[in-house]
């Protein structure tokens, strides 16, 4: 339970499944009111009804494709008029496709950039002025360990998450003294349907299944950090340690880890 968010409004993109859905459940358990956004409106309806029934909180839902700037602008305009202020905003929507540069589909690459980077930036840009004017708020960006340590077949996905981390770190400095917290979440592989799209052949899941992160536990850490000055949430610990070693000794790390990295 996080008493700091009781009665506050938490907005989440990509809330119809996976990590976003678990964040919504645990935020509702802490007494937060919710704004849930995703492309799958029918799934949002079921989640909204579940959360209202179980926790007696307020929950609003909006169909949203964060790859489309116009949709984001229209949705945020509706939220401002229909719900009001957002206290915590979780940029969770995103997807990845694992392919080598030689084999990648440029339309998929463009979609990843529009969703993972430009969509996240647009959402943040629209929600931030209200937080700054109130001198209170929290932006939480779901990045990835892939934003710290690139591996084969994830060139574009990794590039988008490097961009998210760069954006988040810069924003955190800009918000210093303005009352707005900024946190990046850098998970390794999470046990969600993310890999239904990312891992077309299913080989990556088979190779790392026992190492995958429980989304319920990660969501708990994220909700516990809401409205605090937590800089980063990294999971799992051993992978975050690996990314630090990679930053210090990239050539050695790439050479020694090549056989494992190519198991996607």
The boundaries of the domain holding residue 192 are 3-261
Left (φ > 0), alpha (ψ -120 to 50) or beta: where does 251 sit?
alpha
Q: At what angle do helices 155-174 and 120-134 cross, to 10 degrees?
A: 10
Q: What is the pLDDT of residue 240?
A: 75
Per-residue pLDDT of the chain (264 residues; tens, 9 = 90+): 999 999 999 999 999 999 999 999 999 999 999 999 999 999 999 999 999 999 999 999 999 999 999 999 999 999 999 999 999 999 999 999 999 999 999 999 999 999 999 999 999 999 999 999 999 999 999 999 999 988 899 999 999 999 999 999 999 999 999 999 999 999 998 875 654 444 455 555 555 556 689 999 999 999 999 999 999 999 987 777 777 877 776 777 676 665 555 555
Residue 247, Cβ neighbours under 10 Å: how many?
11
Q: What is the pLDDT of residue 195?
A: 47
Q: What is the pLDDT of residue 191?
A: 73
Q: What is the pLDDT of residue 198?
A: 47
Q: What is the pLDDT of residue 212?
A: 83
Query: Is residue 180 within 8 Å of 136, Cβ to Cβ?
Result: yes
Q: Can you tell me which residue has the tokens 């349907």?
A: 193
The tally of domains found in the chain comes to 1
How do beta strands 9-13 and 88-91 pair?
Answer: parallel
Q: What is the pLDDT of residue 190?
A: 84
Q: Which two tokens stand for residue 11?
A: 């907005």
Query: Is residue 96 within 8 Å of 129, Cβ to Cβ?
Result: no
Query: Is residue 213 within 8 Å of 236, Cβ to Cβ?
Result: yes
Q: Which two tokens stand for residue 141?
A: 């960006």
Query: Is residue 165 within 8 Å of 243, Cβ to Cβ?
Result: no
Q: How far is CA 121 from CA 37, 46, 48, in A?
A: 16, 28, 26
Q: What is the pLDDT of residue 202?
A: 57
Query: What HEC string does 215-247 produce?
Result: HHHHHHHHHHHCCCCCCEEEECHHHHHHHHHHH
Rg (CA), the chain: 18
Domain at 197, CATH number: 3.40.50.720
Q: Is 246 a catalytic residue?
A: no
E strand spans, 47-192: 59-63, 88-91, 137-142, 180-187
Element (H, E) at 253: helix 250-261
Size of the chain, expressed as the number of residues it contains: 264
Candidate list 55, 62, 157, 246, residue with the active-site label: 157
Q: What is the pLDDT of residue 261?
A: 56
Q: What is the pLDDT of residue 230?
A: 98
């Amino acid at each position: 339970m996080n008493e700091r968010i009781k009665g506050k409004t938490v907005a989440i993109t990509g809330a119809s499944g996976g990590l976003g859905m678990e964040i919504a459940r645990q935020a509702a358990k802490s007494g937060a009111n919710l704004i849930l956004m995703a492309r799958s409106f029918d799934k949002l309806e079921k989640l909204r009804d579940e959360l209202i029934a179980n926790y007696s909180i307020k929950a609003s839902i909006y169909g949203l494709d964060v790859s489309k700037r116009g949709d984001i602008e229209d949705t945020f305009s509706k939220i401002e008029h229909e719900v009001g202020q957002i206290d915590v905003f979780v940029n969770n929507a995103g997807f990845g496709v694992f392919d080598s540069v030689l084999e990648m589909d440029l339309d998929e690459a463009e979609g990843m950039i529009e969703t993972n980077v430009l969509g996240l930036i647009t959402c943040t840009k629209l929600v931030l002025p209200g937080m700054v004017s109130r001198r209170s708020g929290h932006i939480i960006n779901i990045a990835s360990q892939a934003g710290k340590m690139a591996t084969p077949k994830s060139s574009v996905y990794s590039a988008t998450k490097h961009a998210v981390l760069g954006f988040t770190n810069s924003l955190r400095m800009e918000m210093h003294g303005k009352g707005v917290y900024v946190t990046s979440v850098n998970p390794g592989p999470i046990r969600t349907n993310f890999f239904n799209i990312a891992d077309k052949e299913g080989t990556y899941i088979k190779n790392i299944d026992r190492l995958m992160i429980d989304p319920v536990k990660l969501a708990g850490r994220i909700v516990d950090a809401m409205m605090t000055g937590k800089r980063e949430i990294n999971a799992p610990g051993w992978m975050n340690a690996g990314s630090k070693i990679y930053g210090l000794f990239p050539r050695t790390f790439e050479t020694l880890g090549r056989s494992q990295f190519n198991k996607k």
